[in-house]
Amino acid sequence: MTGFKMKRFSVWFMLMVAFASVGCTARRGASKEEQFIPLERGMAVIQSTPPDASVYINGALVGKTPQKKLFLIPGTYDLEIRKEGFGPWKEKILILENTVHEIQAKLPGFSPTDTPVLKRPAERLY
């Protein structure tokens, strides 16, 4: 190859390598750092007394307590926690972005007046 042809070949080769590397970089997508950028959400950590109660957000069942991490878009939500044998716990909650909201709910127990009273004395067991 002559000097001119060699220079022209080198220039074309460098251009091809440059375009190929740009194409590969564009196809790769987001970098590892970019893949872990969190969306603008807030997190709710919900616990209740007693535990193992059903958690409802805007009327939809989302799990049971303790609810470790519940990611929500910022806004206002109707939170209700229910468990059989206890009264419901209801609250309107405001979720802010990039904030962890810890919610402790104590479900009201039924009062003694809500329990049935026996009308006759208990029978002897012996």
Of the listed ranges 14-18, 38-42, 71-75, 109-113, the least confidently predicted one is 109-113
Q: For residue 45, what are the β-bridge partners? A: 102
In a domain, 76, yes or no: yes
Total domain count for the chain?
A: 1
Residue 67 · residue 53 · CB < 8 Å: no
Which of 118, 10, 22, 106 lies closest to 65, judged by CA? 106
CATH of the domain at 90: 2.60.40.1120
pLDDT tens by residue, 23-65: 555 445 555 555 555 568 999 999 999 999 999 999 999 999 9
Answering whether pTM is above 0.85, one says no
In a domain, 46, yes or no: yes
In a domain, 126, yes or no: no
In a domain, 100, yes or no: yes
Domain range for 92: 42-110
In a domain, 26, yes or no: no
Average pLDDT over residues 80-93: 95
